[in-house]
Amino acid sequence: MMYDFLVDLTGSPILSGIVMSLLPLFTFILPFALFAVYLERKVSAHMQDRLGPMRTGWHGWKQTIADILKLIQKEDIVAKDNDKLLFNLAPIIVFAGSYAAFAAIPFASIFIGTEIDLGMFYIVAVTGLVVAGILMAGWASNNKYSLLGSMRSVAQIVSYEIPTMLVMLSVVMLSGTMSLHTLSEMQTGNILNWYILGGPGLSLSKFILIPFMFIGFLIIYISTLAEVNRTPFDIPEAESELVSGYHTEYSGMKFAMFFLSEYANMFAVSAIVVALFLGGYQSPIGYFGNLIGAEWLVPFEQFGWFTVKGVFFVFVQMWLRWTLPRLRVDQLMTVSWKYLIPIAFVNLLIIGLISIL
Amino acid sequence: MSNNSKLNTKNSAIRTEEMVLNMGPQHPSTHGVLRLELVLEGEIVVKVIPHIGYLHRCFEKHCEAMTYPQIVPYTDRMDYLASMGNEFGYAIAMEKMLGIQVPERVEYIRVIMAELQRIASHLVALGTYGADIGAFTPFLFCFRDRETILHLFEITCGARLLYNYIWVGGLSHDIHPDFIRKTKDFIKEFRPNLKEVDNLLSHNRIFIDRTANVGILPIETAINYGVSGPNLRGSGFKWDIRKDDPYSVYHKFDYEIPVGKGTYGTVGDSWDRYYVRILEMEESLKIIEQAIDQIPEGDVTSAIPKRIKPNAGQVYARVENPRGELGYFIISDGSTSPYRVKVRAPSFVSMQVLNELCKGYMVADVVTILGSIDIVLGEIDR
Amino acid sequence: MKEYLGNIYTALYTIFVGMKITFKHMFVPSVTIQYPEVKLQLPERERNRLYVNMDDCIGCDQCSRACPVSCIDIETTKSLPGEDLGKTSNGKKKALWVTNFTIDFAKCCYCQLCVFPCPTECIYMTDVFEFSEWERDRLVYDFATLTPEERQEKRDNLAKFNAEKEAEKLKAAAAPKPDVKKDEPEVK
């Protein structure tokens, strides 16, 4: 809808296309990445009884800006035996993969990148680009440790896509649509219409569905944790074992791209979980704008709610990172193939049965 | 048909090669400058060859050029995380050679310092072990508690890590007037903190999956190699020099010796070695409480000889360091400098078991096993 | 099957226990202090940089001999018989000019072994620890209070005095021996 608005305004579809694609980047991803890095450092510091950054700005809020400025100034080291093409291409592909997923995520009822009907399918396909990027990074680094790290990462991401897709399929079965935008629209009203509490409408099947939806929510949360390489699944970038894994050899701006893409990815998967189960951008209590009659306020409120929910789940991801130790590679595979996939599959079958009835 | 049989008789395995991976001297997880050459087949370790010597400072040769009191600061620097234990061993060896009997107050204070040092050293071991496994938070909790202990040491002798406090024949200073009150506060505060780290890490399912059944050390292998301390006790064998060959006033206290029982896996795995250290901290707290209540009055510097010139002879004395049995073998030739000082470092012996323990496990497990053995390179290289 | 479900249950339970602990810790006040605006109060026995009070130093060289790393370098010159160097604060009479007293803090291991043998307690450890320098030579501290000209003067004085004594001895040896029989009676 925003696309149409811009086309009416400017009269040129190309220009509005460009603006629409740049809009999530500048209004959301960059500020969010800056904020997320700062949040992580402060959250980890306070969980560990210390203070975190305190000197750059009031309580250190300018720390990430300082870090980015520093990384931009660093020398871009490319070792002699590295495969130059792949080495330079890898961070770009990783960043592009995680950024492209934002095109299909609904930020507000009118603010969405594209109105694609295959929203979920598109997102899962595009985050698979990240796998290719990581493999390239590991191989082109010409370093045994990096290669080990990237191969583990590939195995991990590929095996954890399966429970993700199984849970997504169960929600698709219930709602009948793959577009995240339509899903969020279906969950309007109040909190009882959210999928985690069974879905819109009021019927017996809804109440029976609640425990299975809850299990589905847990499964997708855990598997998307593994997709973004966060502890307890951060073997690919395990600092104390592989000295940073596949991004050991990168310095300067390329490292910054890996770094930013990790945080962008974290938000993207939180956003997917929120859109699937927790109502997307809908508010649980109604809109203030509707109350006072200012209709134009509603999209901004929705944007705010969406951000709050997304940031809350990013916070939970950080919370988990600083509490739990790391899983070993074979245990990671065990969790995925022996625990998550069977449970997700059974869940899918049961939800399918209930939805027919 | 004949073609098929020809195909069948050939061994169709793909040619594989062993890979040599170097966990070099600079690595976040080898505790110090240790080079581990891992011979891998895929992800499975076939052999581990440790290369040491990056921290060799010629301690034993250097002792031959110094007088006996001057050696004490150097013994601190061998196992820098358990300095009181090192000084204690040296003092006991020299007092045995000279035949000095120190006042009781000195004995009690030495025991309190050694036990506080044991707690501090185990806190570092557990914190870094958790950090290697990936849990970063217990590391900071352990170090926060260790700061209190280092403050106690600081008000007594002025230094936080390398004390030069336990001298031959006594101590350099008497304890500070605030020491007993602050130690009691510390004990009261530390018990719940220890319980908290226990809850956070020890019984966590992921931690158990990483450490149980990994690096199993059978008792015979341990005894054959000469392993001692928590590594031996983790395998189920109850041997502690404080009980089996008592020195100083350890026989006056009532405490247990924890051993590994294989709660979550087999006896002697990494979880057992880790948990023995947690239980030992609790026992050390008991010893400190009893010692504080029983300290007699006295003068701590009265038995320090003016000039140490022992008769020609040799002596061997051993103490229970947080890492195992630390032994000093001193040969004197009648002058003010020793003829030879040989130190039996516990980490040196424990590290040799690494090859046995790592066979058949994965690369990630090498880090786990190395952390559970708890070595300090300063002691290995001297 | 029971073990399977049991595994899932223990995993989730222990994870939640851990999460509760870290969450509680977010609201505990932190233990960090903001150095250099806030500095810790160091205890009175703190062992940091050494200080030598040269008014009390009698040049006995005990501290230099006790040091395990030989970082104290002392050179003394004997004073002439008539000179009065004064007394130390606990009453000892000083008899040596200390012409060189340097401590190399790059070598010092802060072990405190030099403090104990000093008979006048003039060398002691302070709590100063912020004394880093850009060049290593600047860590060699010179404590002697005589100016370089004075030091050379004392050494020259001693050399002259010794030379004079040597000359006298030589003169006494080379001079004709005085008559042994001093009380030769004045006869005839």
Distance CA A322, CA A325 (A): 8
Domain harbouring B348, CATH code: 1.10.645.10
Touching subunits for chain A (3+ Cβ pairs under 8 A): B, C
Residue A125 at interface with chain C, using a CB cutoff of 8 Å: no
Q: Kindly list the domain boundaries of chain C, sorted by start residue.
A: 50-171
pLDDT over 50 at B9, yes or no: no
Distance CA C125, CA B372 (A): 39
Ranges in chain A, pLDDT < 70: 1-2, 24-25, 145, 189, 198-199, 201, 236-247
Q: Which residue has the tokens 């209930």?
A: A354
**More confident call, A84 vs C116:** C116
Over pLDDT 70: what percentage of chain B? 95
Q: Which two tokens stand for residue B72?
A: 């004490």
Measure B289 CA to nearest chain A CA, in Å.
Answer: 28
pLDDT of residue B107: 92
Residue A218 at interface with chain B, using a CB cutoff of 8 Å: no
CB contact under 8 A, A326 and B206: yes
Q: Residue A324's closest CA among C44, B86, B205?
A: B205
Residue B131 at interface with chain A, using a CB cutoff of 8 Å: yes
Measure B134 CA to nearest chain A CA, in Å.
Answer: 4
Residue pLDDT, tens place only, B85-125: 999 999 999 999 998 899 999 999 999 999 999 999 999 99
CB contact under 8 A, A46 and C31: no
Contacts with A, B 12-71, CB within 8 Å: 19, 21, 27-29, 43
Q: Tell me the count of B-C CB pairs closer than 8 A.
A: 69
pLDDT of residue C183: 58
pLDDT over 60 at C186, yes or no: no
Q: Which residues of A touch C30 (CB under 8 A)?
A: 45-46, 49-51
pLDDT of residue A9: 75
Q: Which two tokens stand for residue B206?
A: 């992921």
Q: How many CB atoms lie under 10 A from the CB of residue A82?
A: 17
CB contact under 8 A, A240 and B130: no
Contacts with A, C 85-144, CB within 8 Å: none
Q: Residue A236's closest CA among A265, A201, A273?
A: A265
Residue C31 at interface with chain A, using a CB cutoff of 8 Å: yes
pLDDT of residue A304: 86
Which H or E element spans position B319? strand B313-321
Nearest CA in chain B to C21: B200
pLDDT confidence tier of residue B3, bands split at 50, 70 and 90: very low
Q: Residue A108's closest CA among A316, A314, A291, A309?
A: A309
Q: Which residues of C touch A322 (CB under 8 A)?
A: 22
**More confident call, B21 vs A192:** B21
Of C21, C110, C125, the CB nearest to B199: C21
pLDDT confidence tier of residue B5, bands split at 50, 70 and 90: very low
Identify the residue among B17, B137, B201, B368 best suited for mutation to test binding to A, counting A beta carbons within 10 A and taking the highest.
B137
Radius of gyration of chain A (CA): 21
Q: Residue B245's closest CA among B345, B170, B330, B326?
A: B326
ipTM entry: 0.82
Helix (H, G, I), strand (E, B) or coil at C123: strand
Q: Which residues of C touch A45 (CB under 8 A)?
A: 30
Residue B26 lies in a domain: no
Q: Which residues of A touch B209 (CB under 8 A)?
A: 327-328, 331
pLDDT over 70 at C182, yes or no: no
pLDDT of residue B105: 92
pLDDT of residue A240: 46
pLDDT of residue B4: 39
Q: Which two tokens stand for residue A188?
A: 């309007």
CB contact under 8 A, B155 and C14: no
Listed range (A251-255, A289-293, B175-179, C55-59) with the worst mean pLDDT = A289-293
**More confident call, A44 vs B30:** A44
Domain of B158 in residue numbering reads as 59-381
Measure A286 CA to nearest chain C CA, in Å.
Answer: 30
Measure B217 CA to nearest chain C CA, in Å.
Answer: 26
pLDDT of residue B188: 93
Nearest CA in chain B to C31: B144
What pairing do the DSSP bridges indicate for beta strands B35-41 and B19-23?
Answer: antiparallel
pLDDT of residue A101: 83
What pairing do the DSSP bridges indicate for beta strands C140-142 and C96-104?
Answer: antiparallel
> What's the total number of domains in chain B?
1
Measure B66 CA to nearest chain C CA, in Å.
Answer: 7
**More confident call, A10 vs B295:** B295
Distance CA A72, CA A253 (A): 5
Residue pLDDT, tens place only, B118-166: 999 999 999 989 888 888 888 888 999 999 999 999 999 888 889 889 9
Most confident among A130-139, B277-286, C37-46 (mean pLDDT): B277-286
CB contact under 8 A, B204 and A49: no
Distance CA B39, CA B21 (A): 6
Listed range (A65-79, A119-133, B24-38, B304-318) with the worst mean pLDDT = B24-38
Give the mean pLDDT of B167-172. 90
Q: Which residue has the tokens 């399966």?
A: A162
Nearest CA in chain A to C29: A49
Residue A117 at interface with chain B, using a CB cutoff of 8 Å: no
Q: Which residues pair with C98 in a beta bridge?
A: C76
Q: Provide the CA C48 distance to its chain's centre, in angstroms.
A: 11
CB contact under 8 A, B164 and C113: yes
Q: In the CATH scheme, what is the code of domain C50-171?
A: 3.30.70.3270
Residue C8 at interface with chain A, using a CB cutoff of 8 Å: yes
CB contact under 8 A, C68 and B147: no
Cβ partners under 8 Å of residue C149, min gap 6: none
Nearest CA in chain B to C8: B205
pLDDT of residue B275: 92
Identify the residue among B140, B197, B202, B372 best suited for mutation to test binding to A, counting A beta carbons within 10 A and taking the highest.
B140
pLDDT of residue A79: 77
Residue A48 at interface with chain C, using a CB cutoff of 8 Å: yes
Residue A327 at interface with chain B, using a CB cutoff of 8 Å: yes
Q: Which residues of B touch A243 (CB under 8 A)?
A: 27-28
CB contact under 8 A, B159 and C7: no
Give the mean pLDDT of B299-327. 90
Give the mean pLDDT of B360-369. 85
Of C10, C47, C109, the CB nearest to B205: C10
**More confident call, B376 vs A76:** B376
Q: Residue A231's closest CA among A148, A327, A298?
A: A327
pLDDT over 90 at B279, yes or no: yes
Cβ partners under 8 Å of residue A298, min gap 6: A109, A287, A289, A290
CB contact under 8 A, A339 and C8: yes
